[in-house]
Structure 1
Amino acid sequence: MRWTVDEPATLDFDGVVALKATLIAGSVSVLASDDRPSVLVGDVEGPPLVVGHEAGMLTITHERLWEGVLTWLRTHRARAAITVTVPRDCPVTLNLVSADAVITGMTARTSIRSGAGDVTLDGVTGAIDANTVSGAIEAQGLDGRVSFTSVSGDLALAGGDIDTLAARTVSGRIAADVDLAGGGRIEVNTVSGEVALRIPESAGAQVALHSAAGRIETSFPELGREERAVTRSVTGKLGDGSGRLSVNTVSGGVALLGRAGDGGAGAFDPGMEK
């Protein structure tokens, strides 16, 4: 079935097995719920929204999408505010131009592609793939495999038991305060973006921190420091060395801090101002 929506409306569905939404501007919230799946459209400006539901696949996009993109570029009048409730095990794919997104409680694969919009993830688990150009990504309580990519947007992650965290930016800052699952991996790469990581003092990991021009600071005295003409490095083993933590930057500063074992992961001030 297919609906064209140009004013506030609520649509309910018998079942949803996957969600794919494309939004130019405005906001989209995806909430895990045990209730009947629904789409709540609070506001539409510019091209109408087209909502489709076929074989359990729920799709949301703008009518005449590329015409809408051109309209937004000229006038910034192509936006909508959407709230979607789906089962927590529903895979989610969001493609956003300038819209903001909030995703909470999902447990299946979550994939986000965003230009300038900010993305918030709360209590999302499973495989997470979030990419922005200039929008910020903020997340808390993530578990599983996490991939963050941004050009100039900041990435901030608080809490969660991470199996794999792969984070890449050009100039965006990366800050993560997480627990490392046994054998977990953290791999961070930036050009000029600063990196601040906090892990439990009891974590086990092989550590390799490298920066060509930025300074490297750590609260782990067991790590060795080496400075050469073209690079600075801090390397060594923490605990049983079962995991891996690597950071590579060109000119960004790096801070690796320890957290007492009885303290929960959360927001922190890495004190990395130059």
Structure 2
Amino acid sequence: MPNWTVDGPQRITLDEPVTSLNVSLISGQLNVVGTDGPARVDLTRVSSRPILVELRDGRLTVRHPRRPKWPGLLWWLGQLGRRFRADVSIAVPADVLADLELVDGALVASGLRGQTRVDVTSGRIALMGLRGSTSARIVSGPVEALGVGGDLSLDTVSGEVILADSTAERVNASTVSGAITCDLDNPRGSDIRLTAISGSITVRVREDSDLAVRLMTTSGRITSGFPQIGGSGIPGVRDSRGVLGAGTGKLWASATSGSVALLSRPVAAAEDLEELP
């Protein structure tokens, strides 16, 4: 059972197979990438609290040894954050089961194809090129997903949700205080559900999409670039429905205090993007 206690910059290369990854850090920067080569852990910055790295029965664990007590948010951000700050990059096989937690900082995950769970308290989440089943939750800060497929769940309490070039079959995105912006290129049969409490929702889909659409708002305005859906910014319209193409997929967007906009993207624009090197 290999294990390390790391108190300074260090690279650890693992010769044994890795099937799952569990990361629990307090503060700093965490980058996780799926790779075809051997698993490795690069620690480029470690403050006064060491990082524990352990590999047991295919499970790679990277964590701070213990979580501190919470004496108050301001003291935490000003004092404890510096003592626990670490910058960690981890490369693992793309099909691992990944469970990633960070209290304060930025987390980037890319190239993973298995089940991925991301949980950040305060900071920023960026997801790129993930497949399989992905769930990401952040209390304070934005979450961005670029080129993510499979099943995708994004949740933020105070922050923006940004989803671009998505081929996800199922999308569930919600924010309490923030906006949702989506650029979707979904296969037939997709199920997309977007919810904003205090903020607007903007969705762009291909003009040849096959979607059954429902757009709702309590105190905002509905705007649609598709005549089949209606809305068009007409005052008083709070619930618009319609069908695009064969309607084999579903798009459901609901804002409590904010507007909902559905935009059309030309098919030629999508094809041009696919041809770029």
Structure 2 length normalisation: TM-score?
Answer: 0.90
Q: How does 1:90-129 map to 2 (within 5 A)?
A: 90-129=96-135
**Deviation, structure 1 residue 153:** 1.2
Structure 1 stretches lacking a partner, 5+ long: 268-274
**Deviation, structure 1 residue 216:** 1.0
**SS of residue paired to 1:133:** strand
Q: How does 1:62-211 map to 2 (within 5 A)?
A: 62-66=64-68, 72-73=76-77, 75=79, 76-77=81-82, 78-211=84-217
Amino acid at match of 2:96: C
Identity between Structure 1 and Structure 2 (%): 33
Residue number in structure 2 paired with 1:5: 6
Query: Quick check: 2:224–2:230 contact (8 Å CA) kept in 1?
Result: no
2 CA distance for matches of 1:87 and 1:30?
A: 10
2 CA distance for matches of 1:265 and 1:102?
A: 28
**Deviation, structure 1 residue 23:** 1.2
1 CA distance for matches of 2:191 and 2:109?
A: 24
Residue number in structure 2 paired with 1:217: 223
Number of residue pairs matched? 266
Q: Which runs of 4+ in 1 moved over 6 A?
A: 68-71, 226-229
- CA-to-partner distance for each residue in 1:119-152, whole Å, 9 max, x for gaps? 1111111111000011211121111111000011
User: Structure 1's 204 and 45: CA in aligned 2 closer, same or farther, altered over 3 A?
Assistant: same
**SS of residue paired to 2:228:** coil
2 CA distance for matches of 1:105 and 1:126?
A: 11
1 CA distance for matches of 2:10 and 2:95?
A: 25
**Deviation, structure 1 residue 266:** 11
- CA-to-partner distance for each residue in 1:74-124, whole Å, 9 max, x for gaps? 502211000101011111111111121111111001110111121111111
2 CA distance for matches of 1:153 and 1:247?
A: 17
RMSD: 2.2
User: Structure 1's 28 and 170: CA in aligned 2 closer, same or farther, altered over 3 A?
Assistant: same
Structure 1 length normalisation: TM-score?
Answer: 0.91
Amino acid at match of 1:111: R
Amino acid at match of 1:37: A
2 CA distance for matches of 1:92 and 1:33?
A: 13
Q: 2:29 aligned to 23, 27, 34, which one? A: 27
Amino acid at match of 1:41: L
**SS of residue paired to 2:188:** strand
**SS of residue paired to 1:15:** coil
